[in-house]
Amino acid sequence: MTDGLIAFEELPSWVPGNVILASDGQNWKDVALRSYHYCGQDVIVPPMRDFLLVSYSAGSTPMQRRFDGRWKRETLGPGAASLLTRAQKAYWNWEDPIDVTHVYLSGRLVADVASEVMDCSVSEVMLDDVLRTDDPVMTAAANAIACEARNRLLGGALYVDTVARGLVVHLLRRHASVRLPQRRCNGGLSPQQERRILEFIDAELASTLDLKLMASALDMTPCAFARQFCQSFGCPPYAFVKARRLEKARRLLATTDLPIKAIAVDCGFCDQAHLTRMFSAEFGKTPAVFRRSAR
C-alpha cells in the first residue's frame, strides 16, 4: 500500500476470488490485467492506486455499489462493463457467481494521455461513477488486452500500450472529467518556468535535448511546451538550444585552450565537423579562425 492506496495485486485481500488470467511478469507499463471468478460477496474495496475497468464475461447477477455515498443497482452480465476511478473507496454487493476481467490503468498513463488530448498539463482526471454501461469499445479493449495476456504474442507490451491509450481517449470522451490548470493570459511560460528551463538547457547542452525531454522538465506536453516557449523566448526551442550551444562554443574558443573537438562534444554537437558547419553559418568564420582572431 502506498499513500493509503492499494495496488491491484492487493485486491484479493479485500475481494477474494480465483485468478483465471493475469498479465503479471509480462513487463507491461502502466497497464495490468487480471481475470477473476467470483462467488457472491458483500465487500468494501479500499481506495485503489489505479483506475479500474471491469468487463463481465460470464454469469449474471444483481449488483449493488455505493460510491461517494450513493447506492446504485444494476443487473450485470456478459457485454456489460463498470468503471471505478482511482483513490475512491467503494462498497460492492452481488449474489451470484460471475467471471470478470479487470483492466488497471495507472494514474500516470491517464494523465499523460489527457495532457496530450487537451494540449496542456492536466492536473487531475476522475472517471465517472459507472456501475453499468453497454459500451462495445470498452469491452473490445478489455478483450484485446486479455488476449495479449493469454497468448503472450510478439510485441505484446507495445500492442497493449496502444490499445490502452486508445481506451483512455475513449474514456476521456465519454466517462471522465478533467481538471485543467489555470492558463496564463499571454500564453507563455511563467517566470519560474522560464528560469527552470534555462537552467535545464544550460546544464544539459552536452546531451541530446529533444522537445519531449525539455517538455518533461516542466511536466508539460511537447505541443504545449513548444507553443508557450516560443511565446516567452520569441523562437522555437530547437533554435534557442542551437543558439545557446553556439554561444557557449564561442566563449570556450575565446577563453580556453580546449581542443575544438572537445568543445564540440561539450556543447552538444555531433563532432568537430558539425560544430564547424554550424559555427561558420552563424558567425562567418570557422572555429579555428575565430579562435586566432580572438587572441
What is residue 179's predicted lDDT score, i.e. its pLDDT? 65
**Is 206 a member of any domain?**
yes
Which candidate, 129, 128, 125, places its Cα nearest to that of 117?
125
The total number of structural domains in the chain stands at: 3
CA–CA dist 130, 82 (Å, integer): 5
CA-derived radius of gyration, the chain: 26
pTM of the full structure = 0.66
The cell for 286 is 570557422
**Is 240 a member of any domain?**
no
Which secondary structure element, helix H or strand E, spans residue 265, and what is its range? helix 260-266
CA–CA dist 8, 1 (Å, integer): 10
User: 205: number of CA atoms within 13 Å, CB side?
Assistant: 21
Domain of 219? 191-234
**Is 239 a member of any domain?**
no
Same domain, 163 and 88: yes
**Is 130 a member of any domain?**
yes
Same domain, 52 and 112: yes
**Is 98 a member of any domain?**
yes
Q: What is the pLDDT along the chain (295 residues), one digit of tens a residue?
A: 557 899 999 999 999 999 999 999 999 999 999 999 999 999 999 999 999 999 999 999 999 999 877 899 999 999 999 999 999 999 999 999 999 999 999 998 998 888 777 766 666 788 888 999 999 999 999 999 999 999 999 999 999 999 999 999 999 999 988 765 555 445 789 889 999 999 999 999 999 898 889 999 998 888 888 888 988 998 889 989 999 999 999 999 999 999 999 999 999 999 999 999 999 999 999 999 999 888 7
**Is 58 a member of any domain?**
yes
What is residue 221's predicted lDDT score, i.e. its pLDDT? 83
Looking at the chain, the number of H-run helices and the number of E-run strands are: 10, 12
> 89 to each of 100, 111, 182, 221, how far by Cα in Å?
19, 20, 29, 31
CA–CA dist 71, 68 (Å, integer): 9
